[in-house]
Amino acid sequence: MREGLVQIGHVVSVSGSRVSALFRNGEGKQVDVQVGALVKIPTAGAMAFGLISSVKTEDPSWPPRDTEKRFFELELLGEALDADDGNPGTIFQRGVSIHPSLGSEVCAATREDLKHVYARPRASNVRVGTIHQDRTLPAFVTTDDLLGKHFAVLGTSGAGKSCSVALILRAILREHPNGHVVLIDPHNEYSQAFGDKAEIVSPATLQMPYWLLNFEESVEVMVGPDASRREAEAGILKAAILDAKLKFAGDAADKSSITVDTPMPYRMESVLRTIDDAMGMLDKPESSAPYLRLKARIDSLSTDTRFDFMFSRLFISDTMADVVSRVLRIPVTGRPITIVDLSGVPSEVVDALVSMLCRMIFDFALWSVRERGVPVLLVCEEAHRYVPRDDAPIFASTKGAIARIAKEGRKYGVSLCLVTQRPSELSASVLSQCNTLFALRMSNQTDQEFVSRAMPDGALGLLNSLPALRTQEAIVVGEGVSVPVRLRFDDLEDEQRPRSGTASFSAGWQTDRGQLDFIAETIDRWRRQQR
């Protein structure tokens, strides 16, 4: 045994990255060995490191006997190769080139070992917390590997998911103040988490004109939900929109490149006029039903004040550059993150709006000159709503837009962060594109099994810890960290926390705070659909 090593057992089985070992009787009990502990195994020319994933006793008795056989299993993380002069290695590297042999000593890791294994990466990185084994040692994520290869934050409600997202983004933007982050916020949780560093976008503060919708999204909004009638109405709408775009372009534009999906302005009055003209050419009055339904739907959207942010009857002009500039923060002007508050968006157009935003982000990156392009991170909260499992028929347009970012975004500088409390309801194909996973407490067996399929083999041993994680703790695996790690996220100040806490019934029910004016105020906001 090398000098200074404290042996706790020896290797009895090696299978790939998994090693089984037998505790050393008597002396082994004096060492604090538990699930999640780091251990090391001297090999020929290297020192292999692993995490204990399980412990067990063969034929247990009461009271425990010193002669009992006690086993533990560990997952190999990596190794530190010895220097050419024979001195023990201190630079840790992922993966194992020299596997332990049967009978090899398994030794307890020291604080110095922890510092080597979880050392600060040489590449650009940010601190997000502390490691589980020693709360005085920081935990880091590598910025380019985290953002360049997509990541996901998964965990049950109340595990600290929203605070974790806020902390990760704040840490990254603190080191990169000219970043470009777009956060889709369904419940208006994050508006206070970034202070004056965030641009808050909502229906009350930004016009997202209907002409930015592509044809699939336009059908989603303007055509009724009845599938049996949708095809006929969609065909009428397609011809009307294309005709309206050509008329708006006039004689000055090259009309050969204009299609029904081209993001250029058109007047809704032109669409309705084209529908009227087409309806007037019909031979049979009963054939006018799809035209009338389509007109009624468009009229309803245009006159409902809830949809003013999209269907305003104000003067139509080409404001696309202004919309892109504000959403993508180009220029940044001290606000590197845009929070898109969807809490006030009518449910009838939420899918189309999210689809439009995601598609706009990707298409802008796609058509930008590569040398002048700006990398963008899209954070999708409640991702299971917009990227549901592969067999779910809902949210088809949004799912397609986000799936395209997941598969092709990294080529054009568009990164994706998925945040969800129900990973089993998430599209498996999209989640598989996320090369870094932050897994917080997860008690649902179905969710655990789903996440286990997305985890690399070397980290499966950590999966057993998911139900036992405390709030603010996470298991992080993938390209964004040097090795799989269980960490505790750093604390956030109260004013930096998202508004995601559970309402306090015990405090709220102590006094009678409800007054009639409170009811009247709530009803007024309810009717005006304004928070």
pLDDT of residue 28: 42
pLDDT of residue 29: 45
- CA within 13 Å, CB half, 86: 1
Q: Which residues pair with 69 in a beta bridge?
A: 58
CA nearest to 446, candidates 423, 475, 474, 476 = 423
CB contact set of 441 (below 8 Å; sequence gap of 6+)? 155, 156, 159, 466, 467, 468, 469, 470, 471, 473
Q: Radius of gyration over alpha carbons of the chain, in Å? A: 29
Q: What is the pTM of this model?
A: 0.88
CB contact set of 39 (below 8 Å; sequence gap of 6+)? 8, 33, 49, 50, 51, 52, 74, 106, 107, 108, 109
Query: How far is the C-alpha of 82 from the C-alpha of 80, rounded, in Å?
Result: 7
DSSP state of 388: B
Helix, strand, coil % over all residues of the chain, rounded to 5 = 40, 20, 40
Query: How far is the C-alpha of 139 from the C-alpha of 482, rounded, in Å?
Result: 10
pLDDT of residue 48: 93
Query: How far is the C-alpha of 121 from the C-alpha of 92, rounded, in Å?
Result: 11
Q: How far is CA 484 from the centre of its chain?
A: 19
Q: Which residues pair with 341 in a beta bridge?
A: 185
pLDDT of residue 465: 79
CA nearest to 91, candidates 471, 511, 482, 516 = 482
Query: How far is the C-alpha of 350 from the C-alpha of 449, rounded, in Å?
Result: 30
92-94 and 151-154 strand pairing = unpaired
Q: Give the tokens for residue 28.
A: 């082994």
CA nearest to 357, candidates 389, 381, 331, 388 = 381
CA nearest to 199, candidates 311, 318, 323 = 323
Contact between 91 and 80 under an 8 Å Cβ cutoff? The reply is yes
The 3-state DSSP class for residue 464 equals coil
CB atoms within 10 A of CB 21: 27
Per-residue pLDDT of the chain (531 residues; tens, 9 = 90+): 555 678 899 999 999 888 999 987 655 445 667 888 899 999 888 899 998 888 888 878 788 777 788 899 998 988 988 665 555 556 788 888 889 999 999 999 999 999 989 999 989 999 999 999 899 999 999 999 999 999 999 998 888 899 999 999 999 999 999 999 999 999 999 988 999 999 999 988 888 999 999 999 999 999 977 777 888 999 999 999 999 999 998 876 677 788 999 999 999 999 999 999 998 887 666 688 899 999 999 999 999 888 999 997 667 888 999 999 999 999 999 999 999 999 889 888 999 999 999 999 999 999 988 888 899 999 999 999 888 886 656 678 888 899 999 999 999 999 999 999 998 889 888 998 999 999 999 888 888 888 877 776 556 667 777 888 888 999 998 899 988 889 999 999 988 989 866 666 777 777 776 666 777 787 777 776 666
Q: How far is CA 30 from the centre of its chain?
A: 43
pLDDT of residue 197: 94
Query: How far is the C-alpha of 407 from the C-alpha of 489, rounded, in Å?
Result: 29
pLDDT of residue 282: 77
The helix or strand, by DSSP H or E, that contains position 75, with its residue range, turns out to be strand 69-81
pLDDT of residue 54: 86
The 3-state DSSP class for residue 519 equals helix
92-94 and 69-81 strand pairing = antiparallel
Largest CA distance in the chain: 98
Report the alpha-carbon angle 440-398-290, nearest 5. Answer: 145
Q: Give the tokens for residue 287.
A: 């054939």
Query: How far is the C-alpha of 154 from the C-alpha of 100, rounded, in Å?
Result: 34
